Amino acid sequence: MKNIKYIGIALFFVGFCMFHYLILGGNYKITKSSLTNAITNTVHFDAISKHIQLGSEQGLFETVSSVKSAVQNAQVDVNNNFEKLKTNNTPLPNGMGEWDYKIGDGNISGYAQSITKASIGESHLSSIKTWGLLSFLLCIVGALLWISSRFNRQPGIQNDGLFHNPLTRGITAPVRNVLLIVVGVGILVYGYLTKSTNWAIISVLIALLIAGLVFWYENKTVTKGSKSIAPNVNGYAGIALGLYLISFYVLLYWAPAYLVSATKILDPLSIALSGNPASQWFLYGFLYTVAMIVMGIRMYAKYRHDKYQLMRTGSVVFFQLTFAFLLPEILVKLNMPYHDFKNIWPLDYDFLFDWNINSLIANGTFGIFILVWGIFLAIVGVPLMTYFFGKRWYCSWVCGCGGLAETAGDPFRQMSDNSLKAWRVERYVIHGVFVAAIVMTVLVLYTFFTGNYQFLGMESYQLRSWYGFLIGAGFSGVVGTGFYPVMGNRVWCRFGCPLAGYLGIVQRFFSRYRITTNGGQCISCGNCSTYCEMGIDVRSYAQKGQDIVRSSCVGCGICSAVCPRGVLRLENSDLDIKTRTKHTSGLVIDGNGAHFNF
């Protein structure tokens, strides 16, 4: 049986290497026809053709950089031309508008991607066709075999050796902090360089303000948080995996041209679903969904003694596969707007952007239905469902981000810092992001309704593009997922997600949900706190016999599953909403002596 596991691991790595060889290696050749395929705009075509060297065989990296510089040079030309035409009052050719004519900053990466993709050399193309799907298949089959060994173990908690494993044992707080700072500063500098706005500076100021608030609060109270990640743990494999994931997200968001061969593998599938060739987003959606399905099967193996876990895992995988992956593509095929019906503002931060509202309205009844449904979910659905079930109805049953965390992220849940200090930082940061999302949306809507771009000195377009860059990509993707093996699987959900902030406020104050503790049965072992992916110190409540009501609790139920003494149960009741935070059970000593009280 052990052999099957090792065969699985071997297959997985063969597939993994094959895939990377395919997407990073191979030959590229920019030809006239690849340019024609990639560029439909005639002005841009002419300008770019002038700067590009045709015909030579190159590798991926040379190709991308030569394409990029050609497009950048073309941009200068075209935009100079535009100014000239404007001063001469000459009309633009073919009745083009200003932004049809000019090459915007946003176009550069798009052209780099489309031209590179159209230039994949013939021999490389045929290897992609032959080996591409096979490499995916090897990874999937390998992973499944790897996982299958879990089915041989008896049903029960399977956490043996997690803190002995270099992948899952975590790293020291200083190393973690250095990694976090390097990545954070890197993102800001990159944003400053490419976006050339002062939003990077404002972001730094906001970050400093939040840090300042945390430290001020720390000093104001006697209870300085101290315990943190344990000393002398060096999960080097975890760091390596984290760096790999971070690089993937950086390429995905900001340099998709390097992923064109990977998207090429998926073109047939994408065309079958939506009629369009695969973009980097389709690639991402595909990998995401596959990861969730495979690791969802792992969850089945791991928690098959706990039906709550099975139902929940089934649910997130279902919502990812249908609502997030398949349905939007099918909508596109039917000429309807791409939409994920379970994504909710403010997580879906561009839902109320002018272009989205316009395109929905332009689409007629169905588009308006999407608009109404989205607004209904945010205003009525969230509070109502959270009142009944707590935020878990979304975060650990429906949400895609939560879904990945609960499946692919499960091996890393013990990395979540459950110190008091971490809780303080968390509260400031997540509510800060929630406020930022609201401000940005209000501003964007203000512009939408009044046509005015300025509000109290803030530029709505700049603000939203910076929010999208910093929060939408940097925080949720690069840090949110890249840091799984370093800071636990819910980094984004815990510190960043504005919707989680919103759901959390409802859960804390107006919900029937809580985790009940079972009288005096707690032995303070700490399994619940260790395996809480949200870094809640569950034990600190359980050992007092106090029920757990926390805005961050996503109701994954793992604390209950790993508790060796049957102390915790996720429950809803409307009979004691006001007192549920205070409810404690345990030994009480009063005038009548000592007795148990519930």
Partner 1 sequence: MRIVIIGNGISGVTAARHIRKLSDHEIIMISEEGEYFFSRTALMYIYMGHMRKEDTMPYEPYFWKKNRIQLIQDRVTKVDPEKQILSLKKGESLAFDKLILATGSTPRPHPAIPDMSAVKGVSGMYHIQDLEGLEKISSEVKRAVVVGGGLIGIELAEMLHSRGTKVTLLVRENSYWNMVLPPEESNMVTEHIKSHHIDLQCSTEMADFTIENSQIKQVNTNKGEQIPCQYLGMSIGVIANIAFLKDSGIETDRAILVNNNLQTNYKNIYAIGDSAQLKTPNPGRRNIEAVWYTGKMMGEVVAHNVIGESITYDPGIWFNSAKFMDIEYQVYGTVPAKMPEEFDSLYWQHPTLDKSIRIVYKKENEEVIGFNLMGIRYRHEVCERWLKAKNTLSEVLPRLPLANFDPEFSKVFEADLVSQYNKKFGKSLQVKESRGLSNVINYFKSFGNI
Residues that bind ligand SF4 (CB under 6 A): 522-528, 538-539, 542, 563, 565, 567-568
Instruction: Please identify, using beta-carbon distances, which residue of 26 and 555 lies nearer to ligand SF4.
Output: 555
Pick the piece of the chain touching partner 1 (CB under 8 A) from 76-84, 268-276, 431-439, 569-577. 569-577
Q: What is the 3-state secondary structure (H, E, C) of 360-385?
A: HHHCCHHHHHHHHHHHHHHHHHHHHH
Q: Does 1 bind partner 1 (CB under 8 A)?
A: no
Helix axes 199-220, 460-467, angle to 10 degrees: 70
Q: Does 224 bind partner 1 (CB under 8 A)?
A: yes
Minimum gap (Å) between residue 581 Cβ and partner 1: 15
- Look at residues 511, 502, 494, 493 and name the one whose alpha carbon lies nearest to residue 581: 511
Q: Does 388 bind partner 1 (CB under 8 A)?
A: no
Length of the chain: 598
Minimum gap (Å) between residue 381 Cβ and partner 1: 21
- CB-neighbour burial class of residue 273 (10 A; exposed 0-12, middle 13-18, buried 19+): buried
**250: phi then psi, degrees, rounded to nearest 5:** -60, -45
Residue recorded with tokens 């000593």: 589
What percent of the residues of the chain are helix, what percent strand, and what percent coil, each to the nearest 5?
Answer: 65, 5, 30
Containing H/E element for 557?
none
Minimum gap (Å) between residue 525 Cβ and ligand SF4: 4
Instruction: Give the contact letters, 306-335, x = binds to partner 1 (CB under 8 A), - = no.
Output: xxx--x------------------------
Instruction: Please identify, using beta-carbon distances, which residue of 408 and 528 lies nearer to ligand SF4.
Output: 528
Among 225, 268, 277, 468, binds partner 1 (CB under 8 A): 225
Contacts of 158 (CB under 8 A, 6+ apart): 150, 302
**Contact predicate 199/462, CB 8 Å:** yes
Q: Which does 308 bind (CB under 5 to 8 A by kind): partner 1, ligand SF4, none?
A: partner 1
Instruction: Please identify, using beta-carbon distances, which residue of 35 and 528 lies nearer to ligand SF4.
Output: 528
Pick the piece of the chain touching partner 1 (CB under 8 A) from 208-216, 286-294, 322-330, 588-596. 588-596
- Cα gap 259→250, rounded to integer Å: 11
Q: Does 571 bind partner 1 (CB under 8 A)?
A: yes
Instruction: Please identify, using beta-carbon distances, which residue of 331 and 567 lies nearer to ligand SF4.
Output: 567
Residue recorded with tokens 């109270």: 221
**Contact predicate 373/341, CB 8 Å:** yes
Question: CA 78, 468, 505: angle at the middle one, nearest 5?
Answer: 165
Q: Does 164 bind partner 1 (CB under 8 A)?
A: yes
What residues between 412 and 431 interact with partner 1 by CB under 8 A? 414, 419-420
Q: Does 152 bind partner 1 (CB under 8 A)?
A: no
Residues in contact with partner 1 by CB under 8 A are 154-157, 159-165, 169, 222-227, 230, 233, 305-308, 311, 414, 419-420, 516, 518-521, 523-527, 529-530, 539-540, 543, 557, 560-561, 564-566, 569-576, 585, 587, 589, 593-596, 598
